[in-house]
A and B are shown apart, each in its own frame.
Chain A
Amino acid sequence: MKSKLTYPFVFLSVLLLICFLVNISLGSVSIPTREVFKSLFGNSNNESWQYIIQDYRLPKAITAILVGSGLGISGLLMQTLFRNPLAGPFVLGISSGASLGVALVILGSGVFGGVFATLLISKWSIVIAASLGSFLVLLAVLLISSKVRDTMAILIIGLMFGSITAAVVSVLSYFSSAEQLQQYIFWGFGSLGNLSWNEVIIFFCIYGFGIVLTIFSIKALNTFLLGENYAKSLGLNIKQSRLIIILATSLLAGTITAFAGPIAFIGLAIPHMTRQLFNTSNHKILLPAVFLFGAIVMLICDSIAQLPTSDYTLPINAITSLIGAPVVVWLLVRKRKMVF
């Protein structure tokens, strides 16, 4: 069993490294490959190239890895926990919560008016609003999940939270100016760039905590494959495991949405693609595979989104769906059977 898996994992790791380097080499300014490597290690003579590589492209590539792997893993967690192949990291209303927070800051700033409004709309305030929004929704979901026994009910409750926040956002947009709306829409496009090293470090710390919780849940996740009654008969503390899994998902999806915007599709699709490729449901294999695969797909999407050598950058949210959705359809059609 183990030796059979070494090959695909080595392959994916090498692919990740290649995608990472390609991603750093491409951008609106074309930099020769040799200079890219020199700049990476701080030996370049060209200061502006070095700045572009070290302070823009490198943090962006790392963000892409964190976002892709984090969303993929949180999608995997939700699909196993809710026994539902349609579940993604956003079913708990995490992205809705973040959207609501951001909408309140951007669209609601008109209400506060004047100098205070311009103060509010800084990047940090958006990050904080998104985190706060997803955290509050998470708290509500956790409170309810400790009362509700049925896992499916939590799924519905998450969707209801989504509806409520969507409604509030549309009421807010009705009273907003065109500029505010534009700013809100741009946030909704998602963005991997524009993160400073400090922000990347904070991002990484919260992400790391989520991953640690996930690793400690591997055994529980595999037990959940049998269904809740069997899991209970195997001595698993269902409530506690469920809480840890939801917490891990929220940490991962919440921070990602806060720093990179609501990025569609990856969370839902990556676990499916990985299951098809590895043909297993064992989380000890799936988890590292989803990590590698999510990071690779996100790096590729980002490389395409920045339209190399042009000055345009397409919204990352559009690219993930445009590229990813046909791939999932192709995989399902080819195998004629959904592996779950």
Chain B
Amino acid sequence: MTTTNSHIILKTENLSIGYASKKTTSVIANNINIELKQGELIGLVGANGIGKSTFLRTLTSIQNPLNGTIYLNDKPLDNHSSIELAKTMSLVLTEQLMSKNLSVFELVALGRQPYTNWVGNLSTEDLSVINKSIEQTNLSEFKHRKCFELSDGQLQKVMIARALSQDTDLIILDEPTTHLDMYHKAYILKLLQKLAKDTNKTILFSSHEIDLAIQLCDTMIVMTSNNVVYDSPCNLIEKGLFETLFPKDLINFDKNTGSFRIK
């Protein structure tokens, strides 16, 4: 923690991911070596079905790796207790909320669960963290609204506020921009960039908004069928990696604008 900005929150060593059953093993990606540093915004991109979700599921310990080790704050992921993990890593998932009858405040307050007592009472510290998270995501005016009254974009902000209130070093978001219009896609990703800077948290998200990610991220993880590459957006463009993302019959990557064009 002493060397801010260069402190490594999450590191993988020769990680291979995939699904193993008794008879067969299907490897999705091999030899993944990444280092996520404190205060960085990291975008994970790749074509549909390339294994982004599997990778995130492995990082969040929902799924076991086939090989290799994941270090969270220099300690192997397996050695974290579930409460330790909950205090180090928070998630924003694609799944629908089960109950939208909670108010924004109540939902964000659930992020404090790892810190509260057996009945879930909020201390003054909890309250200040919750209120700060609501302010940081510009939700103050919606604080006492019910979640079913919110638009998709607002709801996504609430889920981000909930992850913030969990007060973790690392926030992982699985496709936070799906179902959103172009403005809100940019809004959410810009918000993530600001949060990473302001709170010095590491934020990793998967997305299909490659051009936005190129503009906003400090680092990007590009998954192709051959390998997983981890570098700054500029270097990735130089290396010509984005050209290899998709089949070449329909779209082309334009190096000058950093975006895809129809042929």
The chain A residues found within 8 Å of chain B, CB to CB, are: 83, 215-216, 218-219, 222-227, 229-230, 232-237, 275, 279-282, 284, 339-340
Contacts and interface: CB of A to CB of B under 8 A. Distances in A.
A186 B23 CA distance: 56
Nearest to B86: A235
A224 B90 contact: no
Contact of B101 (A83, A218, A224, A340): A340
B114 A235 contact: yes
Contact of A235 (B60, B87, B97, B119): B87
Interface of B: 60, 62, 81-87, 89-91, 93, 95-99, 101-102, 106-107, 110-111, 113-114, 116, 118-120, 166
A248 B173 CA distance: 35
A233 B110 contact: no
Nearest to B83: A235
Nearest to A337: B148
Nearest to B148: A337
Given A235-B87, A281-B101, A284-B119, A226 B110 contact: yes
25 contacts: A83-B98, A215-B119, A219-B118, A222-B110, A222-B113, A222-B120, A225-B110, A226-B97, A226-B107, A226-B110, A227-B93, A227-B95, A229-B62, A233-B60, A233-B85, A233-B90, A233-B91, A235-B81, A237-B82, A280-B101, A281-B99, A281-B102, A282-B106, A339-B101, A340-B99
Given A234-B114, A235-B86, A229 B93 contact: yes
A282 B120 CA distance: 11
A193 to B, nearest CB: 36
B126 to A, nearest CB: 13
Contacts of B102: 225, 281-282
Nearest to B85: A235
Contact of B86 (A215, A233, A284): A233
B120 A219 contact: yes
Contacts of B116: 219
Given A218-B119, A234-B166, A235-B113, A225 B98 contact: yes
Contact of A232 (B62, B87, B111): B62
Given A230-B91, A234-B166, A235-B83, A219 B97 contact: no
Contact of A275 (B60, B90, B101, B111): B101
A81 B113 CA distance: 18
Nearest to A215: B119
Contact of A219 (B89, B107, B119): B119
B205 to A, nearest CB: 15
A80 to B, nearest CB: 8
Nearest to B99: A225
Contact of B110 (A216, A218, A223, A284): A223
Contacts of B90: 233
Contacts of B82: 232, 235-237
Nearest 5 A-B pairs (CB), nearest first?
Answer: A235-B86, A219-B120, A235-B83, A281-B101, A225-B99
A168 B165 CA distance: 53
B89 A233 contact: yes
Contacts of B97: 225-227
A226 B107 CA distance: 8
B79 to A, nearest CB: 15
Contacts of B114: 234-235
Contacts of B110: 222-223, 225-226, 234
A216 B120 CA distance: 10
Contacts of A233: 60, 85-86, 89-91
Nearest to B94: A229
A211 to B, nearest CB: 14
Contacts of B106: 282
A223 B166 CA distance: 13
Contacts of A234: 86, 110-111, 113-114, 166
A275 B85 CA distance: 33
A340 to B, nearest CB: 6
B120 A284 contact: yes
A222 B83 CA distance: 17
Contacts of A284: 119-120
B113 A223 contact: yes
B245 to A, nearest CB: 28
Contacts of A281: 99, 101-102
A13 B206 CA distance: 51
A275 B86 CA distance: 30
Contacts of A237: 82
A240 B174 CA distance: 27
Contacts of A235: 81-87, 113-114
Contacts of A222: 110, 113, 120
B123 to A, nearest CB: 14
Nearest to B117: A219
User: Considering residues A218, A225, A275, which has the most beta carbons from chain B within 10 angstroms of its beta carbon?
Assistant: A225
Contact of B120 (A218, A224, A226, A227): A218
A145 to B, nearest CB: 19
